Amino acid sequence: MDDKIVFTYDVPADDFSRAGEASSDVKSKLKQLGTPPDAVRKVAIAMYEGEINMVIHANGGTITVEISPRQVRMVLRDRGPGIPDVDLAMQEGYSTAPDEIRNLGFGAGMGLPNMKKYTDEMHIETELGVGTTITMTVNL
Amino acid sequence: MTLKDVQMVLDARVLVGEEHLDREVRGACGSDMMSDVLAFSHDHAILLTGLTNPQVIRTVEMMDMVCVIFIRGKKPDATILQMARERGLTVLETDHRMFNACGMLYDAGLRGGH
């Protein structure tokens, strides 16, 4: 059986005040579908961190969310600069965000580690100058 | 402890969500860095922050927190208050600074998460 629901979102570049709208929408859709609250929260937090990253670092992009009975799969694709050293970027506290982003409450170097922490699977594909695609799965 | 207790301990003004003051509070987090808040897990928690931008409300929303408290008299704008209203959150404002506000709540029995 393959009753999969797919949603796609455009994440606009440099519009910090709207960052998180896609995650908020996914969260309410999952709630409506009766998804267990714990899984809803995991998806919401991981996707929100990713969405913020796309706005801060990567000139926006697209997010595709596939909801199936067993899992929620999120694919975040950006056209940003790419991540030069993924292992370093995964370290808690490591950040390349400028001070102006820190003043907005982000750039503590917890984004990618949080995404990993709240998902069952996370895969990063990145190419310098081309962009980054992050695929995350939360099992239901 | 309820949100009403939190409001009394902090001498806080209710900006949004007066009707939810009987909600239970089981934990608290004090930070201006939203990613640090997102790393924290606790049900029925509240957030104390000096940051006033829409991402504060989004963070609280993603975490299923019940209330945000703006410290040292920080004034959130109308957009932020409207976002909180739409999400059924309570927003409080206190003149106390972060360290003192957290200490007062700790003293009253509230604890942080893990």
Domain boundaries, chain B: 3-107
Please, which residues have CB within 8 angstroms of residue B6's CB and are 6 or more apart in sequence? B12, B25, B46, B67, B69, B92, B105, B110
B11 torsion bin: left (phi>0), alpha (psi -120 to 50), beta (else): left
Which of B36, B54, B63 comes nearest A45 by C-beta? B63
The CATH number given to B3-107 is 3.40.1390.20
Selection from B31, B32, B9 nearest residue B21 by Cα: B9
> For residues A62 and A56, is the Cβ–Cβ distance under 8 A?
no
The mean pLDDT value for B37-65 works out to 92
Q: So what's the pLDDT on residue B83?
A: 96
What is the rounded average pLDDT for all residues in chain A? 94
The mean pLDDT value for B57-71 works out to 96
Whole-angstrom Cα distance, residue A28 to residue A31? 5
Q: So what's the pLDDT on residue B44?
A: 87
Q: So what's the pLDDT on residue B29?
A: 95
Dihedral Cα A100, A21, B72, B113, nearest 10 deg: -100
The answer to whether B56 contacts A105, with C-beta atoms less than 8 Å apart, is yes
Six-digit token pair at A96?
């390349």
Which of B32, B62, B63 comes nearest A105 by C-beta? B32
ipTM of predicted complex = 0.89
> For residues A75 and A124, is the Cβ–Cβ distance under 8 A?
no
Give percent of chain A with pLDDT exceeding 90.
85
pLDDT over 90 (residue A14):
no
Q: Which CATH architecture has domain A5-82+111-139?
A: 2-Layer Sandwich (3.30)
The packing angle between helices B54-62 and A37-57, to 10°, is 150
Q: Identify the band that residue B66 occupies on the pLDDT scale cut at 50, 70 and 90.
A: very high
State which H helix or E strand residue A6 sits in.
strand A5-11
Write out pLDDT tens, residues A49-91: 999 999 999 999 999 999 999 999 999 999 999 999 999 999 9
Distance from CA of B91 to the nearest CA of A (A): 18
pLDDT over 70 (residue A2):
no
For residue A124, the SS3 value is strand
For residue B102, the SS3 value is helix
The answer to whether residue B8 neighbours chain A at the CB level (below 8 Å) is: no
pLDDT over 80 (residue A116):
yes
Helices (H), B1-114: 3-9, 34-38, 54-62, 78-86, 98-107
Whole-angstrom Cα distance, residue A38 to residue A43? 9
Contacts of A117 in chain B (CB under 8 A): 39
